[in-house]
């Protein structure tokens, strides 16, 4: 798409060069503002995304009709993104190709839906310039956001192999956040430039910049909170009660199993925190369990350690739901919530595998023992989901 757009612009020339230059520079500045982005952030360059969307939905500039078309929109977005990425590439922190491809496809969708209708005059004949025109832009912004969510979920599915449904739900849940701010700012900027001209660009970017800063501070606080929980979870390793990396392995594998079983959003966060802190009750033991392998203990002793762990977790300020999962991980699985069933099975797998990290013989033998315990100790669906996750890891 980018190559076709660039060829078209070279052969037909640039329509309204001032508009193209202004929006291209705006998108480049938005890409430069990626500095300070938190890893895993859904939209690391919201200002550039809003500028690209505004150019795709631009019909007039200071009362004068435009005619740049969908191909020029894609070409300007690609050029602006590449120019803005140069300083990041020089520092070895260039944007991921997935991010660039998603931006081009999403903006291309909006431009193809809007520009042909506007340039041909059909949009003006149908809707005029009144409230129906603004409503049409709003509907198009919503459709573009849905297109972007689907693309993001497809790319994550390709990278991780996780089920598409939960990934799409995560993306849709994220839309009311920075996604809605990007869409609203893009539409408002397009309408403002139509009336006030290009001077509207710097004026209307300020609210989005403030929103971006707020989201990054919130994301930084959440990251710090997660790191604090991970540090607390390592207390059992530092004290010699569990093997090195046990809590991290159980958390990572539990999260993968949770995604495999359809969990997403807050449910996955709860599962991760509970998996990290599932062994914290061992700090109350006078005599450590050999290698911290609680799966081999009698049920009564497992339950006592789980209750002690829940009591410790409740004193750390972690949400009470996390403590409840930690307390219930030793109960019969039919009485447990799904998060506790997953933590119980994954913890037992890591204990039985001896920390092999899912490699060959140890992993297969541990899975076989878990399967022998299904129907009594472990939920069969959890064990099979674990097997599928480990199958992807082993491959």
Of 159, 193, 224, the one marking the end of a domain is 224
One domain, residues 181 and 301: no
Of 158, 190, 224, the one marking the end of a domain is 224
- Whether residue 387 is contained in a domain is answered as yes
Q: How many domains does the chain have?
A: 2
* Per-position b or e across 349-366, b if 16+ CB within 10 A of its CB: bbbbbebbebeeebbbeb
One domain, residues 213 and 118: yes
**Three-state DSSP class for residue 128:** coil
- Whether residue 94 is contained in a domain is answered as yes
pTM of the complete model = 0.77
| DSSP bridge partners of 250 | none
Q: What is the helix (H) or strand (E) element at residue 64, kind and residue range?
A: strand 64-65
- Whether residue 229 is contained in a domain is answered as no
Selection from 334, 332, 314, 331 nearest residue 323 by Cα: 314
One domain, residues 240 and 335: yes
One domain, residues 213 and 263: no
One domain, residues 192 and 270: no
One domain, residues 291 and 319: yes
Location of structure tokens 């005619």: 67
One domain, residues 200 and 269: no
What is the C-alpha to C-alpha distance for residues 155 and 161, in angstroms, rounded to an integer?
10
**Structural domain containing residue 351:** 234-394
Separation in Å, CA 198 to CA 12, 23, 51, 189, 202: 24, 9, 12, 9, 8
Burial label, 39 (beta-carbon count in 10 A; 0-12, 13-18, 19+): exposed
One domain, residues 218 and 309: no
One domain, residues 268 and 209: no
One domain, residues 243 and 369: yes
- pLDDT one digit per residue (tens) for the chain, 395 residues: 899 999 999 999 999 999 999 999 999 988 887 765 555 566 778 888 999 999 999 999 998 999 899 999 999 999 998 898 888 777 777 666 788 889 899 999 999 999 999 988 888 888 877 788 889 999 999 999 999 999 999 998 888 778 888 888 888 888 887 788 889 889 999 999 999 999 999 888 888 788 778 877 877 787 788 888 888 888 888 877 788 888 899 999 999 999 888 888 888 889 999 999 888 888 777 677 776 677 667 888 888 888 888 888 888 777 888 888 888 888 888 888 899 999 999 988 988 887 544 444 578 888 888 888 887 788 899 999 999 888 877 65
Q: What is the CATH number of the domain that holds 270?
A: 1.10.3210.10
- DSSP type of residue 175: I
One domain, residues 27 and 170: yes
One domain, residues 175 and 263: no
């Amino acid at each position: 798409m980018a190559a076709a757009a660039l060829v078209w612009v070279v052969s037909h020339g640039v329509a309204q060069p001032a508009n193209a230059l202004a929006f291209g520079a705006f998108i480049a500045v938005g890409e430069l503002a990626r500095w300070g982005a938190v890893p895993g952030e859904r939209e690391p360059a919201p200002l550039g995304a809003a500028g690209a969307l505004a150019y795709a939905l631009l019909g007039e500039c200071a009362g004068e009709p435009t005619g740049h078309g969908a191909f020029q929109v894609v070409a300007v977005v690609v050029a602006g993104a590449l120019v803005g990425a140069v300083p990041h590439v020089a520092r070895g922190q260039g944007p991921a190709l997935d991010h660039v491809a998603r931006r081009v496809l999403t903006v291309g969708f909006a431009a193809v839906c809007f520009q042909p209708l506007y340039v041909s005059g059909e949009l003006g004949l149908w809707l005029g310039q009144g409230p129906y025109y603004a409503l049409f832009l709003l509907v198009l912004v919503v459709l573009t956001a849905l297109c972007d969510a689907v693309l993001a979920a497809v790319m994550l599915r390709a990278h991780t192999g996780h089920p598409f449904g939960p990934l799409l739900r995560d993306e849709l849940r994220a839309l009311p956040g920075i996604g809605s701010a990007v869409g609203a700012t893009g539409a408002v900027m397009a309408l403002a430039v139509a009336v006030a001209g290009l001077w509207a660009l710097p004026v209307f970017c300020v609210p989005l910049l403030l929103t971006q800063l707020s989201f990054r501070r919130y994301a930084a606080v959440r990251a710090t909170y997660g790191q604090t929980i991970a540090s607390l979870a390592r207390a059992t390793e530092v004290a010699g009660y569990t093997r090195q990396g046990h809590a991290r392995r159980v958390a990572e594998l539990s999260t993968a199993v949770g995604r495999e079983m359809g969990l997403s959003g807050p449910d996955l966060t709860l599962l991760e925190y509970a998996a990290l802190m599932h062994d914290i009750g061992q700090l109350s033991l006078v005599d450590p369990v050999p290698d911290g392998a609680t799966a081999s203990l009698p049920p009564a002793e497992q339950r006592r350690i789980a209750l002690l762990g829940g009591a410790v977790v409740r004193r750390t300020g972690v949400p009470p739901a996390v403590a409840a999962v930690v307390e219930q991980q030793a109960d019969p699985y039919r009485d447990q919530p799904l998060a506790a069933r997953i933590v119980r099975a994954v913890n037992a797998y890591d204990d039985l595998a001896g920390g092999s990290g899912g490699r060959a013989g140890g992993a297969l033998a541990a899975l076989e023992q878990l399967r022998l315990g299904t129907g009594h100790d472990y939920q069969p669906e959890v064990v099979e989901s674990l097997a599928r996750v480990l199958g992807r890891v082993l491959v």
